[in-house]
Amino acid sequence: MKTTWIMLPLAFAVSVSFGDEPAAPTKDEIAAKLNGVTASDITDSPIQGLYQISVGSNVAYVTTDGRYLIQGEVYDLESLENVTEATRAAARIELLGAVDPSEMIVFRPEGEPKHTVTIFTDIDCGYCRQFHRDIERVNALGIEVRYLFYPRTGPDTESWAKADRVWCAEDRNAALTRAKLGGSIPDKECGETPVAEHYELGHRVGVRGTPAMYAENGELIGGYLPPDQLLETLEEIAN
């Protein structure tokens, strides 16, 4: 997988320079110095003298003279808003919203859900398994859970193969539950599955570990939460 700009060492970033040219560099010229960035990824920021760079949910800032790249959180001290996180959340809404629920494994409550969470999960992740043990309780609280696969060990590994085979099962929900509870893994294969797309999406969204839970507003809830605490968190976000 190609290394994206956001993961490059700062030493590389600060080497971006256009010397003593009198004219400010164009966005195309700045983008050419950053791996994986196009001019369309560079926009004006709320801060004078800085452009904002957004690639997926990765956000950074570059000075308009193209010399310095800044990675970190920007806060508006008047509104107390985390401007950087708001940009990330908007990107996550767009990225996750583009996935058809038919390409996920969805556990739905009875009736209209009060809340929906999207979770990147790994069948062999301990906290993912702990969360799924309570999936009926989560649904009973009115929370819909949409699972996307994120095998942390990557392609061509046992965890990835398990995800593929669960997807190929006739009843994916039941197969996922059995797998997460340590039961048998289906041995059926069905060709191409969306696991690779889920995994790539996880990188674009900014997943760093599993379970990675996202609320409907794009906010990263974090890792494992017990059902009641998850509901409380979602109510706070909604309010």
Confidence of residue 21 (pLDDT cuts 50, 70, 90): low
Instruction: Select which of 41, 88, 92, 128 is catalytic.
Output: 128
Instruction: Select which of 41, 122, 124, 164 is catalytic.
Output: 122
Confidence of residue 3 (pLDDT cuts 50, 70, 90): very low
Q: What is the pLDDT of residues 144-185, one digit of tens each?
A: 999 999 999 999 999 999 999 999 999 999 999 999 999 999
pLDDT on residue 120:
98
pLDDT at 238 exceeding the cut of 50: yes
The region of weakest confidence among 19-33, 35-49, 140-154, 213-227 is 19-33
In the chain, what percentage of residues exceed pLDDT 70?
91
User: What's the CATH code, domain 5-78?
Assistant: 3.10.450.70
Residues 6+ apart with CB under 8 A from 77: none
Identify the DSSP state of 39: G
Beta bridge partners of 81: 76
- 125 catalytic? Reply is yes
Confidence of residue 22 (pLDDT cuts 50, 70, 90): low
- 122 catalytic? Reply is yes
Report if pTM > 0.85: no
Instruction: Select which of 88, 125, 129, 164 is catalytic.
Output: 125
Closest C-alpha among 57, 6, 36 to residue 201? 57
Q: What is the pLDDT of residues 96-107, one digit of tens each?
A: 999 999 999 999
The region of weakest confidence among 5-19, 77-91, 109-123 is 5-19
Domain boundaries, the chain: 5-78, 96-238
Confidence of residue 188 (pLDDT cuts 50, 70, 90): confident
Fold classified for 96-238? Glutaredoxin (3.40.30)
